[in-house]
Amino acid sequence: MDLIKQYIIQSLSAASNNLRLSTEKIEVVALLREVIVRSEDLPNDIKLMKKITELSTLAIRLNEIYNYLTQGQIDLFKLSDKFKEHSQFLIKDLSRMLDTVNSNNFKKALEKLNETREAESSAKEANEQKKESLSIDLSKRQPDESVFVKSETEIIKEKIILEEDKDEESLFIQNYESEILKPIKPIDTLLKDLLKNEYNPEDLWNYANLMKTNGELSAKIGFEIISNMHRILSKSLLLIRTRELMPGREVVEALRACLIVIVAVVKGKEVDITNYLNRAEEFGKKIQSIKIKDTI
């Protein structure tokens, strides 16, 4: 087993050891460990897991850990502290997943993962065969036939689109993503206006309520990280409105970090957002004890 898999497996073990697990939950953790150990393409499998409802939240965290281990230089002197931090984050994410699945529906989620992986593999193989057949005598191919040549990405995209048309849950996720992303740019503009002291207090009230609503929706479908970012934004906007929190550069950058995490997670961006996530969560802890005055 390579070092990256060992790190992730040990992080999961450390997290699970901090939870009181039933026999069934222990089985689920064992199945998850087996998926990681047997994976022949771990980054792609984690990416596919993010598309499966039961696995998505945990997969987001695993993706952050994988990016930390593979992007940039690792400071070995801080590796132990980073391992503890990753394990600590995994406790909440693993607990959340274990509370929403049992061994049966977790196995079904893994079957869905295998099916998606096989579909990708078949699409890739078909595309390679098509490329090979085309390369035999490309000069004789009629120009208008090019419209029928599909790339691997197009084949997979068509499969996903057709499946979503038949899958109400996927349609719901599409609508969810649209609603979550809709207020991001207006709020980002509002944050910039706060620094210039050019804003409408009613906008703070309206967006705070919208963030609360979207956060509650995210929590219901298991997107804890997204939900937490919304809670921080909602409370902060109300605190700014009642002048219990002054919108200086540090506060605005922390709130923009929340927006960045939301967009990156919802869109599945393959970038390391650890610094933004840490900044947002640290800020959330700082305002936790501040009580909101009556805003009616």
What CATH number corresponds to the domain at position 232? 1.20.120
More confident residue, 189 or 145: 189
Using the 3D structure, point to which of 47, 82, 105 is the last residue of a domain: 105
Mean pLDDT of the chain: 80
Output the pTM of the full model: 0.47
Q: Quote the CA–CA distance of 57 and 93 in Å, as a whole number.
A: 7
- Let me know if residue 123 belongs to a domain: no
Q: Quote the CA–CA distance of 63 and 47 in Å, as a whole number.
A: 8
Looking at the predicted structure, is the pLDDT value of residue 202 above 50?
A: yes
* CA–centroid distance for 68 within its chain: 15
Q: Quote the CA–CA distance of 41 and 60 in Å, as a whole number.
A: 16
55-69, 80-94, 159-173: least confidently modelled range: 159-173
Number of domains, the chain: 2
Torsion on CA atoms 149, 151, 152, 158, rounded to nearest 10: -80
Percent of the chain with pLDDT over 70: 80
Structure tokens at 234: 């909602």
Residue 129 confidence class, pLDDT cut points 50, 70, 90: low
pLDDT at 225: 85
pLDDT at 67: 85
Q: Quote the CA–CA distance of 96 and 223 in Å, as a whole number.
A: 9
Using the 3D structure, point to which of 105, 128, 156 is the last residue of a domain: 105
> Which residue segment(s) compose the domain that 23 sits in?
3-105
pLDDT at 157: 46
Percent of the chain with pLDDT over 90: 23
pLDDT at 296: 45
Structure tokens at 188: 């980002």
More confident residue, 229 or 168: 229
- Let me know if residue 188 belongs to a domain: yes
Task: Kindly state the average pLDDT of the residues 213-232.
Answer: 86
Task: Kindly state the average pLDDT of the residues 241-266.
Answer: 91
Looking at the predicted structure, is the pLDDT value of residue 174 above 70?
A: no
Q: Which residue has the tokens 């893994």?
A: 110
Do 100 and 177 have their domain in common?
no
Task: Kindly state the average pLDDT of the residues 29-40.
Answer: 87
Do 190 and 270 have their domain in common?
yes
